[in-house]
Amino acid sequence: MRKNFKRLGMLVLAVGLTFSLAACGSSSSSSSKKQTLTVSVDNSSNTYKKFVNQIKGKFEKKYNVKVKVRTKAMSDQLDALKLDGPSGKAPDVMMAAYDNVGVLGKQGQLASVKLASGRYSTKDKKLVTMNGKYYGEPATVETMVMYYNKKYLKTAPTNFKQLEDISKDSKYAYSNDKTKNVGFLVQWTNFYDAYGLIKGYGGYVFGGKNNKDINDLGLNNSGAVEGLTYITNWFKNVWPKGMQSTTSNENFITSQFTGGKTAVVLDGSWMASTYNQTKSLKYSVAAIPTLKNGKKYQPFAGGKAWVISKYSKHKSVAQKWLNYVTNTKNQNKFNKMTYEVPANEAARKTASKASGTRGEVAKAVLTEFKSAEPMPNMPAMTEVWTGAENLIVNAASGKKTPKQSADAAVKEIAQTIKQKYSN
């Protein structure tokens, strides 16, 4: 899901499933009418479509269902649910980033689901829980990780001082402006990407018990400002001006890394499937290096879940699909095809033992996931994504100091939360 979590993102990649079921008859009757199950998967890649096509046969046979695959962007599918649901156009099943699961569940757009027993950790379950109910079945776990080009680096950097040294090496000078350097890149204009550093310096989104006090915002405390100041230095003194973009810099970072111009990139774990398309790129994956203050980079613990539309008239079959698509066998296949790390505990252990890049991705994600903060899934998080859009851009461009930028962003977020969520 990528980035735009709105990554929809912002963050990360991603996938929606549509189940349009025709009238049911008895599967044992020769006159029965087979149900049509329409599966809508994210159109940013063919991998999800291939995955569904490869596993659908057994499901079709067992439940007398015809699975038809369509493609649509996950974020578009979720945005359309409120209107498409009442009109009968919405899918029965989709995928959603974890922060969207709680929001849509509380808004009454999703049906509660029953999780298959023994597949998920307590932390996984919390990601799909809202008001004591599960509104999705965990599919993937995701974090930021480090990718590095093995042509330039034999071992993974372990601290940000090494990343700074790489960015002083003239062989990584930007081709269009030799005074700038692209040895290390990350899309810090995206709050999803930047949060791990801000958190590592002492900032936070929500405080209070279980980080759920929406009136306690920590994105402009002294630690957050210190982290933002460090981030700003990269934009002002190291990177090309185009890195200040909130959109095109994502493609710029990818092209620089796949083109062999960049040694190290911090990005979402889902990007492995994109990098794999460049056969000439030989890269490895590792956990994110330690920050300059000696603390861990602390990215969000995120991912995607399978969800069922509240408007669906076929919730029983939709629930069966959720249980089927997330079983260990199918999650193992999913990992092999996408390199994304399964939420299924047994499948993620298998993934971490895989050889090569696939195993490296899983190990790095699971290392980060242990200490990562679960992405807030309260509706108020929507206001954070919106308000934080200019948090770094204003500081990086020099329009505001880091402190001024942080204060302005928190003021905007707090005001919107008070207007929308105060009793």
The SS3 assignment for 140 reads: strand
Same domain, 239 and 338: no
192 vs 190: CA distance, rounded Å: 5
Write the CB contacts of 327 (distance below 8 Å, at least 6 apart in sequence). 116, 119, 344
- Helix (H) or strand (E) run with residue 37 in it: strand 35-41
Same domain, 269 and 177: yes
Q: Is 121 left (phi over 0), alpha (psi -120 to 50) or beta?
A: beta
Please give the residue that has the higher pLDDT: either 391 or 34: 391
Per the structure block, which two tokens stand in for 291? 């920050």
Distance (Å, rounded) from C-alpha 362 to C-alpha 72? 27
Do 152 and 80 fall into the same domain?
A: no
At 423, the pLDDT band (50, 70, 90 cuts) reads low
3-state SS class at 9: coil
The Cα–Cα gap between 102 and 134 comes to 9
Rounded CA-CA distance 61/332 in Å is 21
- 222 falls within a domain: yes
Q: How far apart are CA 145 and CA 138, in angstroms?
A: 20
Q: Are 304 and 96 in contact (CB under 8 A)?
A: yes
The closest alpha carbon to 159, from 316, 297, 338, belongs to 297
Place of tokens 């995120």: 302
Q: Say whether 173 sits in a helix, a strand or coil.
A: strand
Task: Please check whether residue 93 lies inside any domain of the structure.
Answer: yes
Q: Is residue 310 part of a domain?
A: yes
Residues 226 and 346 in one domain: no
Q: Specify if 215 maps to a domain.
A: yes
In a domain, 170, yes or no: yes
Q: What is the mean pLDDT of residues 326-335?
A: 97
Q: What is the CA radius of gyration of the chain?
A: 22
Strands (E), 219-361: 264-268, 283-286, 300-301, 304-308, 341-342
Read off the tokens for 253: 């970072």
Total tally of structural domains belonging to the chain:
2
Q: Mind listing the pLDDT tens digit for each residue in 39-61?
A: 777 777 788 899 989 999 999 99
214: closest CA among 80, 415, 61?
415
In a domain, 219, yes or no: yes
Cα–Cα distance, 343 to 170 (Å, whole number): 42
Using CA atoms, how far apart are residues 394 and 111, in angstroms rounded to an integer?
A: 40
Side chain identity, residue 280: S
Residue type, 140: T
290: which DSSP letter? Answer: B
Higher pLDDT: 224 or 103? It is 224
Same domain flag for 130 and 150: no
Alpha helices in 88-159 (DSSP H): 98-106, 122-126
Task: Report whether 95 contacts 139 (CB < 8 A).
Answer: yes
Residue 290 or 211, more confident: 290
Indicate if 277 and 404 belong to the same structural domain. Answer: yes
Query: Do 188 and 257 reside in the same domain of the chain?
Result: yes
Helix 222-237 to helix 402-421 angle (10° resolution) is 130
42/138 same-domain check? yes
Q: Which domain holds residue 264?
A: 144-298+388-421
- The single-letter DSSP state of residue 210 is G
Answer whether residue 10 is part of any domain: no
Tens-digit pLDDT profile for residues 62-102: 999 887 787 888 889 899 989 988 998 888 888 889 989 98
Q: Which residue in 93, 133, 38 sits closest to 315, CA to CA?
A: 93
Q: Same domain for 415 and 401?
A: yes
The answer to whether 306 touches 17, Cβ cutoff 8 Å, is yes
Is a pLDDT exceeding 80 seen at residue 389?
yes
Identify whether residues 226 and 97 lie together within a single domain.
Answer: no
Asked whether the predicted pLDDT for residue 7 surpasses 80, the reply is no
Please check whether residues 135 and 68 belong to one and the same domain: yes
For residue 409, the domain's CATH number is 3.40.190.10
Kindly report, residue by residue over 141-166, the tens digit of the pLDDT.
999 999 999 999 999 999 999 999 99
CB 5 within 8 A of CB 99: yes
With respect to residue 18, please indicate whether it lies within any of the assigned structural domains: no
* Angular region, 161: left φ>0, alpha ψ -120 to 50, beta rest: alpha
Backbone angles phi, psi at 149, to 5 degrees: -80, 120
CB 361 within 8 A of CB 272: yes
Structure pTM? Answer: 0.86
Are the C-beta atoms of residues 231 and 397 closer than 8 Å to each other? no
CA gap 207, 230 in Å, rounded: 23
Statement to judge: residues 228 and 130 lie in one domain: no
Give 217's pLDDT tier (boundaries 50, 70, 90).
Answer: very high
